[in-house]
A and B are shown apart, each in its own frame.
Chain A
């Protein structure tokens, strides 16, 4: 499985934008970039995913580098509720039985400062 590298932790002020980086230099052409986050005492939840183009949804934006070797999750206006561990995960679109699992790295622990 292609691996991802994220900073262990980041801090951001409340109501300011947050840019969470992820490096995935060994990404393959069929890997989607998925982001999940885990709020304290909860299971992970899906945030966003993309393949090549930048993506936006109600939770966040995903900016993907042109060579796809890195991506950035953007929270446009962080709130205290966004404090969580954010996981960047590569997922092969050619899902085969036994290969659908999500492989979690260590993620980035985001702290929001009031």
Chain B
């Protein structure tokens, strides 16, 4: 199983500023995912980040607002840019163990970053 460390665990930020969230995995993984969970809501995928290629963003999310870096197989960052109070959410990093098709593939999640924009 993969162990994921996210930093920071929480932050309170001023509107108009940017916050970079780090995701560190204890093993090499091909696929990393970033999710957003708005207060009281379910998880929504922001983007998929694979090492060596640009992130793939879901509908409603754009690179200018949520730039992602994936410099190696154990690390990724998500930046929330030009923040507004509507960006107040929990942001979660997730990884898959392998891209190989396997019925035993499961996803692992970080503890999340609780962001409050004031």
Contacts and interface: CB of A to CB of B under 8 A. Distances in A.
A60 to B, nearest CB: 14
B96 A43 contact: no
Contact of B109 (A32, A43, A101): A43
Interface stretch (A11-19, A20-28, A68-76, A89-97): A89-97
- The prevalent SS among residues of B at the interface is strand
A42 B112 contact: yes
A105 B41 CA distance: 9
Interface size class of A (residues with CB under 8 A): 20 to 34
Interface residues of B, number: 25
Q: Considering the complex of A and B, which 9 residue pairs feature the smallest CB-CB distances, nearest first?
A: A43-B109, A46-B106, A104-B43, A104-B42, A44-B109, A43-B92, A95-B101, A101-B45, A106-B42
Interface of A: 32, 34, 36, 41-46, 49, 51, 87, 93-95, 97-98, 100-107
